Amino acid sequence: MALMDALRPWQIRPEQPGDEDGIDLVLRRAFSGSNAADLVRTLRRERGYDPDLSLVAVEQAGGDLIVGHVLFSPMAIVHGDAPCPAMALGPLGVMPDRQRQGIGRTLVEAGLAACRDRGLAIVLVLGDPAYYGSLGFEPAAAARIEPPHAGWSEAYQVIELLPGALRETRGVARYPAAWDDV
Ligand SMILES: CC(C)(COP(=O)(O)OP(=O)(O)OC[C@H]1O[C@@H](n2cnc3c(N)ncnc32)[C@H](O)[C@@H]1OP(=O)(O)O)[C@@H](O)C(=O)NCCC(=O)NCCS
């Protein structure tokens, strides 16, 4: 671990059994009134869910206190009858009293690195372009990827983790049914 990482009051690690309620709490506090916590609970039961791509930021408080969470889960970009595998980033949430300390950025960067290590080449996200743009995302439309809902267009973004991954890819993004209410 780099010295700067060790000096932080929080550390990033993959989700472990027993983290479920802590993740739930972070998402309910970060996204008041949204179903982000329910989405993660549903996705956790689905085939293809990889706990190593569900990252938490934890502080030590007589045990691990979860203060941030990000999930990367499988989806596809469909063109004709040849679906191209991709990953959905989200939800991403940080406890309100821990925001703007770099936790969100570090969670995303760690998750993207973990995806890249697994050979996962494309990640899509619905979110603030100013925030995700600074993390290397670009508008999905520029990469010829259509969102599943027209209303997402402005905020729908993509990043390629392996060079050239987007060159041959285009189509419509398709999410598991759990995302229908997002
Ligand atoms: C969005 C969110 C995950 C960011 O996490 P965070 O740990 O606060 O973010 P970071 O500290 O890594 O932010 C890095 C930079 O992003 C920008 N930023 C942070 N939060 C932002 C926000 N809510 N809106 C716009 N820009 C934001 C800032 O420029 C910040 O840099 P600065 O500290 O120099 O100002 C967090 O604010 C959150 O949980 N929000 C509520 C849930 C949400 O909207 N999630 C995103 C859904 S896609």
Domain count for the chain: 1
What pLDDT, on a 0 to 100 scale, did the predictor assign at position 154? 84
List strand residue ranges (DSSP E) for 39-182, in order. Answer: 54-60, 64-78, 84-94, 122-126, 138-139, 145-146, 156-160, 171-174
Q: What is the pLDDT of residue 1?
A: 66
Q: Is the pLDDT of residue 135 over 70?
A: yes
129 lines ligand 1 (CB under 6 A): no
Q: Do the domain assignments include residue 116?
A: yes
What CATH number did the domain enclosing 135 receive? Answer: 3.40.630.30
- Give the C-alpha separation, 129 to 105, whole Å: 14
Whether 67 is in the pocket of ligand 1, judged by its Cβ within 6 Å, is no
What does pTM read for this prediction? 0.94
Question: From atom 10 of ligand 1, which residue's Cα is the shortest distance away?
Answer: 102
Residues 31-52, buried b or exposed e (16+ Cβ, 10 A)? eeeebbbebbebbbeeeebbee
pLDDT digits (tens, 9 = 90+) for 27-58: 999 999 889 999 999 999 998 999 999 999 99
Atom of ligand 1 nearest to the CA of 90: 48
Cβ of 70 below 6 Å from ligand 1: no
- Residue 77: give the domain boundaries: 3-175
Q: How far is the CA of 160 from the centre of ligand 1 (A)?
A: 22
Q: In degrees rounded to 5, what are phi and psi of residue 33?
A: 80, 0
In a domain, 28, yes or no: yes
pLDDT tens-digit series, residues 50-77:
999 999 999 998 889 999 999 999 999 9
pLDDT at 3 over 80: no
- Structure token pair of residue 153: 């267009």
147 CB-side CA count, 13 A: 20
Q: Is residue 182 part of a domain?
A: no
